[in-house]
Amino acid sequence: MTTLPVDNTTMEKPGERPPLVLGHTSFATVTSEICRPNETRKPPMAWYVTMAISSCMAMMLGALIGYLILTGVGVWGNNNPVMWGFPIVNFVFWVGIGHAGTLISAVLFLFRQNWRTSINRFAEAMTIFAVICAGTFPGIHIGRVWLAYWLFPIPNQMSMWPQFRSPLLWDVFAVGTYFTVSLMFWYVGMVPDLATLRDRATNKIKAVSYGIFALGWRGSMRHWHRYERAYLLLAALATPLVLSVHTIVSFDFAVSQLPGWHTTIFPPYFVAGAIFSGFAMVLTLAIPSRELWGLKNFITLRHLENMAKIILLTGTMVGYAYAMEFFMAWYSGEIYEQFAFINRAFGQYAWAYWIMVSCNVITPQIFWFKWCRRNIWVLFFASLFVNIGMWFERYVITVTSLANDFLPSSWGTFEPTWVDMLTFVGSFGLFMTLFLLFIRFLPILAIAEIKMVMPEADPHAGHDHDHHNHQEESTS
């Protein structure tokens, strides 16, 4: 069977959901099209160009970390009182980026949302790579990197244990658990597809490599039964992590006594913001990927529109949280708290605050209009603005509260250095390098799951659909 031509701009029929997979009438063409990026001898030139730029940026990150270790944390703009600068801002940003993958995969799987099947695989990969980038910053933030093992509750030469009442130690457990479960979830879901690549391999090296990671998958009934049971259990285990991880990250701030940080709204506010920025990053990656690798039949406008709706919802929640912060500061009657928020909006960092509000609150409101949710260019640039705004949110929370605390005599101004900025840019290079390697050597979409949502997977559904269409033709 051959691939059918598709026009994504056709109007939907009222009361009838558009199909999740377009232009395919057989499972064979689905497998061939999704495996094409892995099986082609030469990827598109755009892949080589992007890979060259990303790998150079990643090497720059490694060089800057080496420079930091040899010279010391004085190369950063951190000062007294702004002890936390770019490293913690970037850590919270990257952990937030990693939230959408687990949400799309685990939560939407438990709620039986079939539209997740075309985007869950690279969203899960995005989670893994974002957490790797996030974990880089706490490791180098401690200054003496060679003593990073002090963070972990293991016996050491000082006969001391870490402070278990510190939220920074909670981060070690939360992020470590999140990474482990997400990695297992990603890998287990990929096993049937790795077996497909093993069976289609054209040389011995590929066959052996994919065969090792396919764990002897033969597609038997027993294998499918155990696979589905394991996948369901991992989804149930991963779902609480969506809420717990960024909640614990918010405790880094919320359990302190600092004005602007000491607030109970932070856990739900951080979780909503993480899902908000995570889905924006999924859009940012999905739109070029579907163009570059010809995946428009699988990542359709319906998928992009659904993600835009979630961005609209979570963006509105984030805007509500911003308003509530000001309301509670006023309602509390606490002069330090009131000053902290007035200073955010009209003080020395007002430019960062209003960039944050413009990108996170105003930009998502365009998704109330359907033509904006279905316009590729609007979706792409809106997702970029959301990612920019969410980084500035973490910058505003971290820096403004530290720079102007209780005593004016201890106030200070934070100015990032070239090392700060290039380290942050380099983390994007590491992220994109890992993501591009994933696209080239692993199945970017979940082949087995996509086939399950096609009408051909259920003969009764296909018969009912044909009968429904026949009735419509008869009545018309």
Alpha-carbon distance of 115 to 96, in angstroms, equals 22
The answer to the question of residue 449 being in a domain is yes
Output the six-digit token pair for 117. Answer: 């099947």
Tell me which residue has tokens 């614990």: 248
Flag whether 24 is in a domain. no
Averaged over 146-152, what is the pLDDT?
Answer: 78
Report residue 446's pLDDT band, with 50, 70 and 90 as the boundaries.
confident
Average pLDDT on 449-469 reads: 60
pLDDT, residue 447, reads 85
pLDDT of residue 389: 94
pLDDT for position 2: 43
Measured between alpha carbons, how far is residue 389 from residues 363, 376, 397, 405 in Å? Answer: 10, 20, 12, 24
pLDDT at residue 457 in the model: 64
Mean pLDDT confidence for 138-164 = 78
Judged by DSSP in three states, 212 sits in: helix
Instruction: Give percent of the chain above pLDDT 90.
Output: 39
Task: Compute the average pLDDT of residues 368-378.
Answer: 92
- Name the amino acid, one letter, at 413: T
Q: Is-contact 234 186, C-beta < 8 A?
A: no
Is 6 contained in some domain? no
Q: Higher-confidence residue: 464 or 258?
A: 258
Supply the pLDDT for residue 28. 82
Q: Which two tokens stand for residue 385?
A: 């603005």
Residue 21 lies in a domain: no
By mean pLDDT, which of 15-24, 29-38, 146-155, 212-221 is the weakest? 15-24
Q: What is the mean pLDDT of residues 270-290?
A: 90
The overall average pLDDT reported for the chain is: 85
User: pLDDT of 85-133, one tens digit each?
Assistant: 889 999 999 998 988 788 888 888 888 888 888 888 888 999 999 999 9
Which pair of structure tokens corresponds to residue 99?
Answer: 């939230």
pTM of the shown model: 0.87
Dig out the tokens for 474 from the structure: 């008869």
Q: Rounded to an integer, what distance in angstroms lies between the CA atom of residue 415 and that of residue 35?
A: 47
Query: Is residue 7 included in any domain, yes or no?
Result: no
Placement of tokens 């509500």 in the chain: 320
75: CB partners within 8 A, 6+ apart: 67, 68, 417, 419
Choose between 11 and 324: higher pLDDT. Answer: 324
* Domain interval for residue 396: 40-470
CA angle, corner 252, sides to 250 and 258, nearest 5? 105
Residues 41 and 328: their CA atoms lie apart, in Å, by 60
> How far apart, in whole angstroms, are the C-alpha atoms of residue 398 and residue 263?
14
E strand map for 110-199 = none
Mean pLDDT of 130-144: 87
Say if CB 245 and CB 164 are below 8 A apart.
no
Q: Given a cut of 60, is residue 251 above it in pLDDT?
A: yes
Residue in the block written with tokens 């490694």: 62
pLDDT digits (tens, 9 = 90+) for 321-364: 999 999 999 998 889 989 999 999 998 899 999 999 999 999 99
Our count of domains for the chain comes to 1
374, 303 Cβ separation under 8 angstroms: no
Q: Note whether residue 13 is domain-resident.
A: no
- pLDDT of 473 > 60? The answer is no
Nearest one of 266, 258, 251, 311 to 284, comparing CA atoms: 311
**Structure tokens given for 114:** 């079939």
pLDDT digits (tens, 9 = 90+) for 192-239: 999 998 988 888 888 899 899 998 888 889 999 999 999 999 989 888
The type of residue at 229 is R
Residue whose pair of structure tokens reads 């038997």 in the numeric block? 220
State the Cα torsion 51-55-276-123 to the nearest 10°.
Answer: 60
Tokens encoding 225 = 């039964």
pLDDT of residue 451: 82
Residue 51 near residue 475 (C-beta atoms within 8 A): no
Residue 206 covered by a domain: yes
9 falls in which pLDDT band (50, 70, 90)?
Answer: very low
* Six token digits for residue 322: 């911003």
- Mean pLDDT throughout 76-90? 89
Q: Is the model's pLDDT at 375 over the cut of 80?
A: yes
Give the pLDDT band of residue 475 (cuts 50, 70, 90): very low
Residue 12 — pLDDT band, cuts 50, 70, 90?
Answer: low
Q: Which of 212-216, 278-282, 381-385, 462-466 has the lowest mean pLDDT?
A: 462-466
Domain presence at residue 119: yes
Query: pLDDT category, 458, cuts 50, 70, 90?
Result: low
